Amino acid sequence: MSDYENVLVAVDDGIATVTVNRPKVLNALDAATILEITACFEALRDDDAVRGIIVTGAGDKAFVAGADIGELVADGPIEAKRTAERGGRMCRAIESVGKPVIAAINGFALGGGCELALACTLRTAADSAKIGLPEVTLGIMPGYGGTQRLPRLVGKGRALEMILTGAPVDAAAAERMGLVNRVFPADDLLAETAAWLRKILRNGPLALRLATEAVERGLGGSLDEGLGVEADLFGVIAASKDRHEGLTAFLEKRRPEYKDE
């Protein structure tokens, strides 16, 4: 993971911090950077030493300010579809990594940057952050999953307002609508996000993974289908050593020691 040109990865106490590192262009997502982020998350998925991930942007101005417009302007229909599919694979790599991922939005998260954040499990934001999908103001539309993930997160009406106006929202408004989960002072964003992630990671890793899977799979079907998924996974976790450890630790009034087994 040290060979990336536009992505920095640091691991500390089981938490990987992935930093999109193109501050001179506000961490814009060109094709090379998208491929690096995808490869990075594929590697983190298989790294047993990493239990949780934080994604952020280099510098103090932008998380990711969007796609690389210089690349987009040259795309014809076939190339544009491939560009969207490339961005979609990046977001799916993030979404399916199997570990909690928190986007620490430290500035502008626009277009592809907003879509990257939407693919994360949870989102925190600096109080100075701006988040939006401005594609329609450029005569295009979101292509990395924004039209699908945003309405699932904030509802159809809110999502369409953001998509059709192209206007960004500030951190406080994003928190009110459920687009971000926590807002922190800019100087404290990474430390507070890491502290929150550590608290989450105290819970059973298998339980975290299967509960997240239940939510994601359940959203794709009816309530009855979702309840069936939940019951199936509840049965799966009953066979785990972690479930026995968690319940036993509760009865013995001690802190559980989970093994992800």
> Where in the sequence numbering do the catalytic residues fall?
115, 135
* The 3-state secondary structure of the chain, one letter per residue: CCCCCCEEEEEECCEEEEEECCHHHCCCECHHHHHHHHHHHHHHHCCCCCCEEEEEECCCCEEECCECHHHHCCCCHHHHHHHHHHHHHHHHHHHCCCCCEEEEECCEEECHHHHHHHCCCEEEEECCCEEECCHHHHCCCCCCCHHHHHHHHHCHHHHHHHHHHCCCEEHHHHHHCCCCCEEECHHHHHHHHHHHHHHHHCCCHHHHHHHHHHHHHHHCCCHHHHHHHHHHHHHHHHCCHHHHHHHHHHHCCCCCCCCCC
